[in-house]
Amino acid sequence: MNFFAANRSAEDEGEAKWGRVRAEYPAQEPFLNLNNAAVSPPPTVVEEAVVDAYRFISRNPDYNMWSKLDAALPAIKRELAELIDCTPEEIALNRNSSEGLSTAIFGIPLSQGDQVLISPWDYPSVRAGWLQRQQREGIQVVNCAFDLMDSDDDIIEAYLGAMTPRTRVLQLTHMYHWNGRVVPVKRLCEMARERNIITVVDGAQTFAQMPVSFRELDCDFFVTSLHKWLGAPVGNGMLIVNERRIDRTWPLLAPFDQPAVHIDKFDHWNLGTYNSAIQAGIAPAIHFHKTIGAERMHARLRELTRYWIGLARDIPGFKLHTDIGTDSLAAISLFSIDNVDMKQLEGNLRVEHQVHVKYRKVEHMEGLRVSPHIYMLKRDLDAFVAALRNAALQ
């Protein structure tokens, strides 16, 4: 597959080229799918690899899963390591970000009175995990107060102001799923390292949606789901544990293989029986993703977001809760419309117009989250904005 000329940027590529990308995905029906931030459809080649592997497993499950299909896992880790710039020995494969985040949250040794810095915007299960440790073990969870529309410098100031000599862990979200805001994680991790603070980065929304380098971020834990922007089958996640942190972190489940050493102790084969067919879809997803590349993917998603917002802006009362001027903008944005019940609008769009977007409410922010994907064309977004205009003015 070669969708693009090597020397052209995404903005230079016509819709026709992206039409060829679209042809490689299963049709999205009955809804126009604008909630890809939750889970993305895999390209058809990935879907087929999973079905083939599933059939293969049924013929001789034990042998075909653990002796045959799993033989490909070291190579898969090498390819993932190359994509995100870490070593294969730092990668554990699991089911999703939630599992990886819980591994970090519950695996870092802490004592009563140790502080963990989180934010009101972190993923709800991440906040709940840390609060559970607070209840059970008497650690202190401290909320860092800032707004998702604040500048990078303001956010850094807020974290700096909240750090104390008792801060042991800094929980960060690379891109907030609420409105697509990317935070300056690299600078924050640097500040943390200078203070011997462990960093956990929730990268569920950034890996594969944009270029990410684990070595450049230099965090202790980076967690992501492979079924979001990489396009792997649903039920694939990746936990990266910095080599300096592996020995000192407890696994979530006591490992089958003892002694529990190296990255294996976090890996799926120590989490009980899993579905190797789902993992057989990772390699084709990586290969498909590479035909586009994270940089071109990011540029295209940013272009699509700016495109639909440009069309929708003149809807009376339209309000954006995402900064679309920033280079880190990608697929995710959040909007509301004055005097319109956004929850009801979400329902109307689905029932009356077959458009699927996501209602989100957190702190003072409320609206509809829109997240297109690279299999979408501008004409899909024309249809979305026409439906929105119609539904909003009803």
Ligand X SMILES: Cc1ncc(COP(=O)(O)O)c(C=O)c1O
Enumerate binding residues for ligand X (CB under 6 A). 38, 96-98, 123, 173, 177, 202, 204-205, 225
Indicate the residue among 33 and 348 with the shorter CB distance to ligand X: 33
Beta bridge partners of 238: 93, 224
Indicate the residue among 98 and 171 with the shorter CB distance to ligand X: 98
What is the spatial distance between Cα 99 and Cα 108, in angstroms, rounded to a whole number?
A: 14
Contact 41, 26 (CB under 8 A): yes
Indicate the residue among 77 and 360 with the shorter CB distance to ligand X: 360
Contact 353, 387 (CB under 8 A): yes
Indicate the residue among 140 and 173 with the shorter CB distance to ligand X: 173
Provide, rounded to whole angstroms, the least separation between the CB of residue 339 and ligand X: 29
Provide, rounded to whole angstroms, the least separation between the CB of residue 111 and ligand X: 27
Indicate the residue among 56 and 106 with the shorter CB distance to ligand X: 106
Contact 266, 251 (CB under 8 A): yes
Give Cβ neighbours of residue 147 (< 8 Å, ≥ 6 apart): none
Provide, rounded to whole angstroms, the least separation between the CB of residue 94 and ligand X: 9
Burial class (CB in 10 A: 0-12, 13-18, 19+), 49: buried
Provide, rounded to whole angstroms, the least separation between the CB of residue 234 and ligand X: 9
Give Cβ neighbours of residue 18 (< 8 Å, ≥ 6 apart): 300, 374, 377
293: alpha, beta or left, given left = phi > 0 and alpha = psi -120 to 50? left
What is the spatial distance between Cα 338 and Cα 202, in angstroms, rounded to a whole number?
A: 32
Indicate the residue among 18 and 222 with the shorter CB distance to ligand X: 222
Distances (CA, A) of 213 to 87, 222, 243: 11, 10, 15
Provide, rounded to whole angstroms, the least separation between the CB of residue 315 and ligand X: 27
Indicate the residue among 226 and 299 with the shorter CB distance to ligand X: 226
Indicate the residue among 120 and 161 with the shorter CB distance to ligand X: 120
Helices (H), the chain: 15-22, 44-59, 61-63, 73-84, 97-107, 124-137, 152-162, 185-194, 214-217, 276-279, 282-292, 294-312, 342-353, 378-392
Contact 94, 118 (CB under 8 A): no
Provide, rounded to whole angstroms, the least separation between the CB of residue 252 and ligand X: 13
Q: To which H or E segment does residue 366 belong?
A: strand 365-370
What is the spatial distance between Cα 393 and Cα 340, in angstroms, rounded to a whole number?
A: 9
At position 390, the amino acid (one-letter code) is N
Indicate the residue among 225 and 333 with the shorter CB distance to ligand X: 225
Provide, rounded to whole angstroms, the least separation between the CB of residue 93 and ligand X: 13
